[in-house]
Amino acid sequence: MKKGLEESIKQTVQAVHKARKIIVASHVNPDGDTIGCLLALGLSLLQMGKKVILLSQDGVPTRFQFLPGSELILSDTTETADLAIAVDCGSLRQLGKLKAAFFRAKITVQVDHHDFGQSFGKIEVLEEEAAAVGEIVYELIRALKVEMTPAIATCLMTSIIVDTGSFQFSNIRSKTFDISSRLLKNGVNLQHLIEESYWKKSRAMAKLSGYCMMRSHFSENGAIAWATVYQEDFKRFGAHQSDVDSVADDLRAIEGVKIAAVFRETEKHGFRVSLRSSDGIHVASVAKLFGGGGHHNSAGCLIRNSETEKKRLLKELEVLVG
């Protein structure tokens, strides 16, 4: 483990020992990484006898509600904690409404792996190379000397499955497999987890994605694919906002496509843009130009609802694929 990371984990362990009441916070529009980490850390702190408040502003997506402890998650709190830990939040904005409760705590910790992260915690437990924040939380839990129960291992494994696209993305490193192998020895049902958190799609999600595929556009050389999802589309299929996640992955899987962009209309006259790229293309750099962030191959930003702004973004993507 890198020196800086080891040091920050040590500091966090000390802060946990001193704290009685601890908040763990996940990011807005939660994915399996942030929820898996929230629960793994939460269950570990409960095992240590701490008073734990688990927070997710936007609840728990249906596909992750099977995870142990998910019924403990609240959308906000008025309580003041001694310590607050954010998992998988690359910037303050990702904390959303939870910002207030988070910063009421005396000590704040940020556990994250984003490339263009904005650091905001008093203690920063950051490792860009981690495929999932679950890998960092795994080290933290070990340092806390908590027993790795099947429930905790299951949550960490979910975080890894989701952020690696079930062991397919280029963010995987050998350590990803080391940790996964150790988690498997602690009672994880890998097959079941992959089925639940990777393969399973709701009917609404599948229809929304199919509809978007029908309306997709391609750049002249076919290297960029994009689609727009309007609010009325969600209504049409009874789909949830988080159902849009798979659209970008489906677009990127098309032959010749190196970058996929999904423009999701927001309620505030803008578009939330999700970018996915194949290996070697750094889409987070473009997201950053528009005030967003993310990882090399998976990033996002917000733009105004205008054709000019959309074109400007697509032009920047063109530069990346040459």
Residues that bind Mn ion (CB under 5 A): 33, 88, 163
Using the minimum distance from each CB to Mn ion, give the nearer residue, 73 or 89.
89
d(CA 290, CA 304): 10
Residue 298 CB, nearest distance to Mn ion (Å)?
9
Neighbours of 48 (CB within 10 A): 14
Using the minimum distance from each CB to Mn ion, give the nearer residue, 112 or 250.
112
Using the minimum distance from each CB to Mn ion, give the nearer residue, 132 or 259.
132
Distance of CA 248 to the CA centre of its chain: 15
Neighbours of 312 (CB within 10 A): 14
What is the four-CA torsion angle of 249, 255, 258, 259, rounded to 10 degrees?
-40
Closest CA to 15 of 82, 81, 79: 82
Tell how strand 83-87 and strand 107-112 pair up: parallel
Residue 301 CB, nearest distance to Mn ion (Å)?
16
Residue 230 CB, nearest distance to Mn ion (Å)?
27
Using the minimum distance from each CB to Mn ion, give the nearer residue, 124 or 163.
163
Q: Which residues of 101-120 are buried (b: 16+ CB within 10 A; e: fewer)?
A: bbeebebbbbbbbbbbbeeb
Residue 126 CB, nearest distance to Mn ion (Å)?
12
- Cβ-closest residue to Mn ion? 33
Using the minimum distance from each CB to Mn ion, give the nearer residue, 23 or 160.
160
Using the minimum distance from each CB to Mn ion, give the nearer residue, 272 or 310.
272
In three-state secondary structure terms, 279 is coil
Residue 43 CB, nearest distance to Mn ion (Å)?
19
Question: Is the CB of residue 9 less than 8 Å from the CB of residue 143?
Answer: yes
Residue 35 CB, nearest distance to Mn ion (Å)?
10
